[in-house]
Amino acid sequence: MRYNLPSTWKNPVRRLWPWPRQSKTELSQVDYRDRISVVTWVMVFGLGLSLLLEIPTTVITFRALGSPVSLPLSVTTLMAMTLAVVAAAGTESVIQLHPRLHAQQGSMTFAYWALPAAIAIITVVLMPQVPTQLLRVIVMLAAGGLLALAFFSLYATVEPGQPGFRRARLTLDALAYGAALLLFLFVYQTRTRSLLSGTLVAMTATLLAIEILRTATPQTRLVLIYGLITGLILGEITWALNYWPLLPGLTGGLLLLLSFYLAVGIAMQSLQGRLTRRVLLEFGLFAVAALILIIIFGPGF
């Protein structure tokens, strides 16, 4: 004998949950905002912890290119690497909540890690140079705000063509170029060994280039290759500029920023299949005009 049970009896969850159930999209919208808040505060806590930790500096000595090199492994280095990993993991946890990635299992999302990791590295490196504790707290909170803005913008660029995509893309580009300028100014003013400064510039420039080029093509492998090429170019230019001892830090930073913009711009046009002689000529004219302005207004020439 078959009995027809009420529909609420067949599903006890529905019987205990009488109001309409939220869709997956609605749940993801709530979850990703909560996740961004948690990740941002974890990063702010980590930035504050980097100022409080005191770990003896370990100096690693080796020979490179025929000369001895001393590589200090300090608390700044360790925290920069650690927070870069935390920022990448937090970015992954936010991006995976997007509905589009639910339908595309196994999607390559490591390109989204680049900008938050770069912001974390740059902030950890810059904060010890800030003169007062109050300014350090302000820088730390500002970095948290920029990270939250980056997380929201990254989430908005997962699916091209959606409302807000262009605005989020412009925000990410501004953050990437701003972070690059801060990095180049700081590294060039410190006048450290080319092996160290060139490596730091190459590594961070690679991350920032990957973020800018990420939406130019769906082929993640090509984005990674062009990003690595851009980082290698910037590292070599940093190495060359270090042989110009009288060049002020501001001028050197602007030259590195110009090189970064040209390398990323040409890579962008190549990935989009629009690299022609006319485009190369436009980049060349822009480079000449920018160099003239740097020579006229930049100190040191």
Q: Contact, 247 vs 214, CB < 8 A?
A: no
Model confidence pLDDT, tens digit, residues 180-230: 888 888 777 766 666 677 788 888 899 889 989 988 888 888 999 999 999
User: CB-based contacts of 106: which residues, under 8 Å, 6+ apart?
Assistant: none
Three-state DSSP class for 71? Answer: strand
Give helix then strand counts, H and E, for the chain.
12, 2
Model confidence pLDDT, tens digit, residues 99-156: 876 555 445 678 888 899 989 988 988 888 888 888 888 999 999 999 999 999 999 9
The angle that helices 220-241 and 249-271 make with each other, rounded to 10 degrees, is 160
Distance (Å, rounded) from C-alpha 113 to C-alpha 237?
25
* Residue ranges of domains in the chain: 23-159, 162-301
What pLDDT sits at residue 66? 62
Three-state DSSP class for 226? Answer: helix
Poorest-pLDDT segment among 38-47, 75-84, 100-109, 121-130:
100-109
Residue 13 has pLDDT above 70, yes or no: no
What pLDDT sits at residue 83? 92
- Report, as an integer, the average pLDDT of 276-286: 91
Poorest-pLDDT segment among 11-15, 254-258, 283-287:
11-15
What pLDDT sits at residue 18? 40
pLDDT band at 299 (very low <50, low <70, confident <90, very high): low
Model confidence pLDDT, tens digit, residues 14-30: 333 343 444 444 444 45
Averaged pLDDT score across all residues of the chain: 80
User: CB-based contacts of 154: which residues, under 8 Å, 6+ apart?
Assistant: 91, 94, 95, 112, 115, 116, 168, 172
Distance (Å, rounded) from C-alpha 236 to C-alpha 263?
13
State the burial class of residue 158 (Cβ atoms within 10 Å of its Cβ: 0-12, 13-18, 19+): buried
pLDDT band at 45 (very low <50, low <70, confident <90, very high): very high
Of 285 and 57, the structure prediction assigns the larger pLDDT to 285
Model confidence pLDDT, tens digit, residues 156-186: 988 887 888 899 999 999 999 998 888 888 7
Q: What secondary structure letter does DSSP report for 20? A: P
User: Which DSSP helix (H) or strand (E) runs through 11?
Assistant: none
Q: How far is CA 240 from CA 58, 196, 208, 256, in A?
A: 28, 13, 21, 11
Distance (Å, rounded) from C-alpha 86 to C-alpha 207?
15
**Which of 154, 172, 146, 42 lies closest to 98, judged by CA?**
154
User: CB-based contacts of 183: which residues, under 8 Å, 6+ apart?
Assistant: 118, 122, 125, 200, 201, 204, 205
